[in-house]
Amino acid sequence: MPVKSVKDMDLTSKKVLVRVDFNVPIVNDKITDVTRITAAIPTIEYILKQKGATVILMSHLGRPKEGERKPEFSLAPVAQKLSELIGKKVIMAADCIGDAVEKLVKDSKPGDIILLENVRYYHEEEKNDPEFAKKLAKLGDVYVNDAFGTAHRAHASTEGITKFLPSAAGFLIEKEIEFLEPIVRNPKQPFVAVIGGAKVSSKIAVLESFLEKCSAMVISGGMSYTFLKAMGKKIGKSLLEEDYVDTAKKFLKTAADKKIEIIFPLDRVCAKEFKEDSEPIYVESDEVPGDLIGMDIGPKTIDAIKSCFATAKTIIWNGPVGVFEYKNFQKGTYAVAQMIANADAITVVGGGDSVSAMTEFGYADKVSHLSTGGGASLEYLEGKSLPGIVALEK
């Protein structure tokens, strides 16, 4: 069902409570990646353009334990960074609920931006406690959710609050739905999925759901070795999830029954040790000899992926095809990023590592959509309903 958009709301003279995802990495008091802050700006600016509107932002940061208010979990550095990026003062609140915050909001003027302190300072947030949600709701006249990354969790600031305020989606959530929904329902064919990364366990549900809709699938990265093991191949000392070998066997049988082409690495770059400076050893085989570790895909595999992309009309990529953090083993992931950037198809890249690879290699603006949601993207693609989104449906 379509969600209600921030554009469907009359925001004139309203205090607009916006749930954003400002869960940014902070090292030694410095924010090391501002992507999530920048991403929230279009929705904030849109609201500020509405006559008399005030923006009240709320977010979580990290995972503070109950009652723990350490400075490293404070959103204060984010207020400062947002202020620099948006070129406007951002008022940092000392808390996210309570009398002092209510007064701060009451005294605010149209055009002000207030950032509430970390909602996870209260364990009631993750428990989706209705009383806590009600206290948050007291701070706004309407609610906008623009935090796709937490939409798969029914928390007070993502789901509970919608019971107390008229609610709508911000532009980030709208864009995620715009690109992910057609993939779940009816992707433009041929649809090719490239799934990599470390673990079968975290991707098996999405792999299974893609079997229902894709014409070909590339399974690579560390998780491909559990599948190779299931096929009776030698995998050396490569990553293995022993508990998932049977699951992998079942998956392969379903794929064969459905006649879905699954491309596994045909050749690979291996290492003697899982280390940054390990010497890359090329192995022109679909097996890993001796006690080597499979670290990256090789040129034959890259060519196979290229042929598969040639006719694709939808491509989704989630999970690096090799240990791309190590320079000696990033050629495969680089090649996939480049092929996706040049593909004549709807291209969607999801998952933290694939998104950072796309950004690091300079291709972030060459894809139809970079899905920033991590777990939320995967659950959406599996076809699950995300509570934070269901709550915004018309």
Catalytically active residues, by annotation: 36, 199, 352, 375
- CA terminus-to-terminus distance, the chain: 7
| Stretch binding ligand AMP (CB under 6 A), from 65-73, 114-122, 151-159, 317-325 | 317-325
- 257-292: b (≥16 Cβ within 10 Å) or e: eeebebbbbbbbbbbeeeeeebebeebebbebeeeb
- CB 335, min distance to ligand AMP, A: 14
Select the residue whose beta carbon is closest to ligand AMP and give its number: 197
Task: List C-alpha distances in Å: 221 to 175, 205, 294, 302, 318.
Answer: 28, 17, 8, 13, 10
Position 325 contacts ligand AMP (CB under 6 A):
yes
How far is residue 4 from each of residues 98, 153, 367, measured CA to CA in Å?
29, 19, 26
Decide: is 332 part of the binding site for ligand AMP (CB under 6 A).
no
Q: How many angstroms from the chain centroid is the CA of residue 240?
A: 25
The residue from 149, 187, 222, 298 that contacts ligand AMP (CB under 6 A) is 222
373 binds ligand AMP (CB under 6 A): no
Stretch that binds ligand AMP, among 46-54, 72-80, 190-198, 382-390 (CB under 6 A): 190-198
Query: Stretches 72-80, 137-145, 228-236, 320-328: which one binds ligand AMP (CB under 6 A)?
Result: 320-328
Answer for which of 239, 288, 308, 316 binds ligand AMP (CB under 6 A) is 239
Q: Determine if 241 is a binding residue for ligand AMP (CB under 6 A).
A: no
Distance CA 30, CA 264 (A): 41
- Residue 374 in contact with ligand AMP, rule: CB under 6 A: no
**87 contacts: CB under 8 Å, gap ≥ 6:** none
294 binds ligand AMP (CB under 6 A): yes
How many whole angstroms separate alpha carbon 339 and alpha carbon 361? 12
Per the CB < 8 A criterion, the answer to whether 342 and 310 are in contact is: no
Place of tokens 């050629």: 331
H helices present in the chain, as ranges: 35-49, 76-86, 99-106, 130-137, 171-185, 200-211, 224-230, 245-257, 299-310, 331-342, 352-360, 375-381, 387-390
Q: Does 149 bind ligand AMP (CB under 6 A)?
A: no
* By CB under 6 A, residue 292 contacts ligand AMP: no
* Stretch of 60-68, 195-203, 206-214, 301-309 contacting ligand AMP, by CB under 6 A: 195-203
140 vs 319, which CB is nearer to ligand AMP?
319
Q: Of 145 and 278, which has the nearer Cβ to ligand AMP?
A: 278
Of 149, 351, 373, 387, which one interacts with ligand AMP (CB under 6 A)?
351
- Residues at the interface with ligand AMP (CB under 6 A): 196-199, 202, 221-222, 239, 294-295, 319-320, 322-325, 351, 353
